[in-house]
Amino acid sequence: MGLADLHLHTIYSYDGTASLPAVLTRAKQLGLDVIAITDHDEIAGALKALEIAPMYGVEVIPGIEITTAEGDLLALFIREKVAAGLSLVETVMKVRELGGVCIAPHPMAGGMGMKSLNAMSILKALRNRKVAETLIGIETYNGTSIDRVSNHSASLLSNRLKLARTGSSDAHILETIGFGATEFEGKTAADLLTALKNRTTKVRKQNEWGMFKILGSWALNYLGSLFARRTITTS
């Protein structure tokens, strides 16, 4: 079985704290076969990670966590930026045009500025056939979500809609990479895509921290990465 973490942030995100080499090194140490770099409304880090990944022995899926008008959306297997602020349907159709697929991350999760899709938005969007062919998964376990109840709600929604189930860390610091992961037959990103389309992925819960540890660790790492993020934004 292959193992993937499909929701990771780096210093290319406004709230990310880890450099690309550090993320790739950590992923390899944890035994992850595939990771998706999904910085907020930014693809530059994902494309750079794709370029250097062979040196670390981890396969990278380029992606973005896109801020839609209705909530966040993961776009995977794309190499161009998608504008923020569009409707969910418009965003999914843009991703489709770029040859990618979408996953609803932390749906229905609240708190700490979370911008999550609600069940009604997802249900309405899936009435569009082309959207249903592209929005193929729901993140049913988010390893660092403070709203733990939302993981259960996402699992119930996935069962109802018969979408692929994914587990991810939503890591914003190195230590939480792999807290949630997705199991799939095979080892490559191509194998993972097939499993997502066939709805055969499984969720693996690796670890879990309490709210105060998550927030405290992020705050310390955020302060420590200020210079690195400033270098990215000014380069």
Q: Report pLDDT digits (tens) over 118-167.
A: 999 999 999 999 999 999 999 999 999 988 889 999 999 998 999 999 99
pLDDT range class, residue 233, cuts 50, 70, 90: low
Mean pLDDT of the chain: 94
Scored b (16 or more CB within 10 A) or e, 132-147 reads: eebbbbbbbbbbbbbb
pLDDT score, position 99:
98
Check pLDDT > 80 for residue 235. no
- Average pLDDT rounded to a whole number, residues 16-45: 97
Phi then psi for residue 168, to 5 deg, are -145, 165
Residue 216 confidence (pLDDT): 93
Determine which of 33-42, 56-65, 226-235 has the lowest per-residue pLDDT on average.
226-235
Q: How many CB atoms lie within 10 A of CB 91?
A: 27
For 180-184, what is the mean pLDDT? 98
- Extract the tokens encoding 134: 């592209």
pTM score = 0.95
Q: What pLDDT, on a 0 to 100 scale, did the predictor assign at position 234?
A: 46
Q: Which CATH class is domain 2-234?
A: alpha beta
Q: Which of 148, 178, 212, 170 is nearest to 9 (CA)?
A: 170
Q: Which of 31-35, 94-98, 150-154, 183-187 shows the lowest per-residue confidence on average (mean pLDDT)?
A: 150-154
If we measure between CA atoms, which residue out of 26, 20, 66 comes closest to residue 42? 66
How far apart, in Å, are the Cα atoms of 15 and each of 28, 116, 177, 231? 23, 16, 15, 14
158 within 8 A of 138, measured Cβ to Cβ? yes
Is the Cβ–Cβ distance between 92 and 76 less than 8 Å? no
Average pLDDT value for residue range 11-30 = 96
